[in-house]
Amino acid sequence: MLLDLIYKEVSQALSQIENSDLSKLDIVVATNSKFGDFQTNVALQHAKILRKKPLDIAQNIANNLKSSAIFSKVEIANPGFVNMTIDTKVINKILLNMQSCKNNGIAQTKSQDTIIIDYSSPNIAKTMHVAHLRSTIIGDALKRIYRACGYNALGDNHIGDWGTQFGKILYAYKNFDKPKDIEEDSIAMLEKIYQEFNQKAENDKNLDDYARQELVLLQKKEEPNFSLWKKFIDISLKEFHKVYEQLNINFDMENGESFYNDDLQGIIDQLHQKGLCKESEGAQVVFFEDDKYPPCLVQKNDGSFLYATTDLATVFHRQNKLAANKAIYVTDNRQKLHFQQFFHISKQLGCNYDLEHVMFGLMKFGEGTVMSTRKGAVISLQFLLDEAKKRAYDVILDRDYLDDEKQEIARVVGLGAIKYQDLSQNPMTDITFTWEKALNLEGNSAPYLQYAYARARSIYRKYLEKYSKDELKSSDFIINFIDGGSSKETIEKELALHILMFGKAVHHAKSQNKPNLIADYLYQLSSKFSSFYNQIPILKEENQQKRSSLIHLTNLSAKTLKVGLDLLGIETLERM
């Protein structure tokens, strides 16, 4: 909205200068209000191109902007900056439009491209644990962000439901005693008998042969193996979906690896036809020109296929059936080589859309060690969610709320704390999770942002108790600011301008595939709103029009916080 207007005006001013280059134009928020509201260093970028002094170019741009209706003041500063102050009438008008804007100022793409987000991807018969958290919530946030920008974003949970482990699980399920201390037909039971198989196989080498026989029967879809395999999938998905429901995560597709089984031999055939694949010791291998990457195994010498083969089949299913324009894979950075290899092969086979790997670092706990039980087993994701709710509940235990409301607050705050401490970090970095930071009401945390929202809603409720709602219907935004104005006027304008930058923050996060950029924006918004309501006695304002304007700004702050937190998959509360 606002930034688009500024770019349009400055672009026109710059284009009046002969031999100027519009691609070099960048406009940023001023770091200090004494430099106006926005700045550009485009004059500095043109010094060599035009062979002129930056200040002379800046003055030329400023002169061309004098006729613009959106600026109240345009000044230049050393060594060649153009500082622009926005007319408050323009700010008020755009705020009013944003108040009723369905997209909250997020520009919508005209292309409506189909973007596939591939994330979470747990393995059947294995409990979801904390290592699944980052892919799941980063992928979900990216899907929400792309959708908010108008794209047809589809979430695909590429379940690991095929492989040699199923031969072992089938043999163990059919021949071992079921653990008496674990619920029958649960993921925990399947994990237990799988671990038992591996322990026994260390001393009995025949077990691996028996497992291979069971796997062959499964591959031929013979009974009871095929039905048992489907049963294992049903058991696993039921438990996965329980966790996803708590996380408020959903998918548009859950095509497991087995979905592509019938396409795998065709991929090998295409690789041979294009001369990309060679036989090596009975296996099928892709070798890269100039040894750009290590060789990529696509079929073992026993005829079985690998992850790379399935991923290649997935790429062309999405191309042929879903008309994908981009696929984004959200996995940890240890899989970097795998994606480099299969992206390269995909393009050689004729993939016609963009493939992107969004990598993330590891999540650690406490003093930097991975959270584990005393026995060394990785903690389940369900345990982490339960612990978050428990700790959040303990924080509000003495509050004067009914227990049902306490439970709901604990659920929303606990879950938000887990998500935000992850999503507020650059995905590429390793992060260290601590409960103290996650549940902190004062710092950069989900509870701090959720509290800012709840405070805004509380102010509005108190307003309705004291004044007529009809006041708001006949009132607009009235944000007045003059040079040398009071600190109250300054913070009011700063808050308004920050709200108007929401759309840019969302698109920036989308272009970088970094949800943390939205978290950064929301933290700044919460801080500015906190200063706003602490410095300005909103409900005591005697002027009706000004009071209504302050409530409008309060409500728009709340709306922006709610929309922004929703992009991160974090819920809000009407009171905390």
SS3 track for 516-563: HHHHHHHHHHHHHHHHHHHHCCHHHCCCHHHHHHHHHHHHHHHHHHHH
Give helix 516-535 / helix 403-423 axis angle, nearest 10°: 130
Cβ atoms of residues 37 and 86 within 8 Å: yes
**Cα 119 from Cα 513, distance rounded (Å):** 13
Contacts of 101 by beta carbon, 8 Å cutoff, 6+ apart: none
**Cα 509 from Cα 488, distance rounded (Å):** 31
Instruction: Give the CATH fold of the 2-86 domain.
Output: Gyrase A; domain 2 (3.30.1360)
Which of the residue ranges 32-36, 258-262, 415-419, 521-525 would you say has the lowest mean pLDDT?
32-36
Is residue 185 classed exposed, middle or buried when 0-12, 13-18 and 19+ CB atoms within 10 A define those classes?
A: middle
Q: How confident is the model at residue 371 (pLDDT cuts 50, 70, 90)?
A: very low
Give the pLDDT of residue 486. Answer: 57
Provide mean pLDDT across the span 163-172.
94
Provide mean pLDDT across the span 46-61.
95
Is residue 135 classed exposed, middle or buried when 0-12, 13-18 and 19+ CB atoms within 10 A define those classes?
A: buried
If one compares 426 and 371, the residue with the highest pLDDT of the two is 426
Residue-wise pLDDT for 271-316, tens only, equals 999 999 999 999 999 999 999 999 999 999 988 899 999 999 999 9
> What average pLDDT does the structure give for the chain?
92
Q: What tokens does 7 get? A: 């770019």
Cβ atoms of residues 363 and 430 within 8 Å: yes
Give the pLDDT of residue 363. Answer: 84
Q: How confident is the model at residue 481 (pLDDT cuts 50, 70, 90)?
A: low
The CB density around residue 271, as the number of other CB atoms within 10 Å, is 22
Q: Which of 19-23, 362-366, 478-482 holds the top average pLDDT?
A: 19-23
Domain boundaries, the chain: 2-86, 114-139+263-363, 165-247
- DSSP for 44-66, written as a single string: HHHHHHHTS-HHHHHHHHHHHTT
Q: What tokens does 347 get? A: 């393009």
Provide mean pLDDT across the span 475-484.
65
**3-class state of residue 512 by DSSP:** helix
Q: Would you state the torsion angle of the CA atoms of residues 399, 402, 405, 409, taken in this order, to the nearest 10 degrees?
A: 20
Cβ atoms of residues 360 and 427 within 8 Å: yes
Closest CA to 126 of 235, 14, 288: 235
Provide mean pLDDT across the span 366-394.
72
Residues constituting the chain = 576
**Cα 138 from Cα 335, distance rounded (Å):** 16
The CB density around residue 90, as the number of other CB atoms within 10 Å, is 18
If one compares 470 and 56, the residue with the highest pLDDT of the two is 56
Of the chain, the percentage scoring pLDDT greater than 70 comes to: 96
Cα torsion 153, 156, 157, 160: sign: negative
Quick one: how far is CA 290 from the chain centroid? Answer: 36
Provide mean pLDDT across the span 151-158.
98
Q: Which residues pair with 114 in a beta bridge?
A: 152
Cα torsion 245, 246, 247, 248: sign: positive
The CB density around residue 71, as the number of other CB atoms within 10 Å, is 21
Provide mean pLDDT across the span 241-254.
97
Q: What tokens does 544 get? A: 């009706």
Cβ atoms of residues 248 and 571 within 8 Å: yes
- DSSP for 65-109, written as a single string: TTT-SSEEEEEEETTTEEEEEE-HHHHHHHHHHHHT-TTTT-PPP
The upper half-sphere exposure of residue 427, i.e. CA atoms within 13 Å in the direction of its Cβ, equals: 26
Q: Quick check: 372 pLDDT over 50?
A: no
Provide mean pLDDT across the span 113-138.
95
Provide mean pLDDT across the span 382-393.
93
Provide mean pLDDT across the span 191-202.
94
Q: What tokens does 16 get? A: 């009046």
Give the angle 160-163-166 at the CA atoms, nearest 5°. Answer: 100
Q: How confident is the model at residue 377 (pLDDT cuts 50, 70, 90)?
A: low
| CATH no., domain 114-139+263-363 | 3.40.50
Helix (H), strand (E) at residue 153: strand 152-156
Give the pLDDT of residue 302. Answer: 85
Amino acid found at 150? G
The CB density around residue 116, as the number of other CB atoms within 10 Å, is 25
**Cα 477 from Cα 89, distance rounded (Å):** 9
Provide mean pLDDT across the span 51-61.
96
Q: Quick check: 79 pLDDT over 60?
A: yes
Q: Do domains 2-86 and 114-139+263-363 have the same CATH topology?
A: no
| Residue carrying structure tokens 């970090």 | 425
Peptide bond into 224 cis (omega under 30): yes
Q: How confident is the model at residue 400 (pLDDT cuts 50, 70, 90)?
A: confident
* Strand 283-286 to 431-433 pairing: unpaired
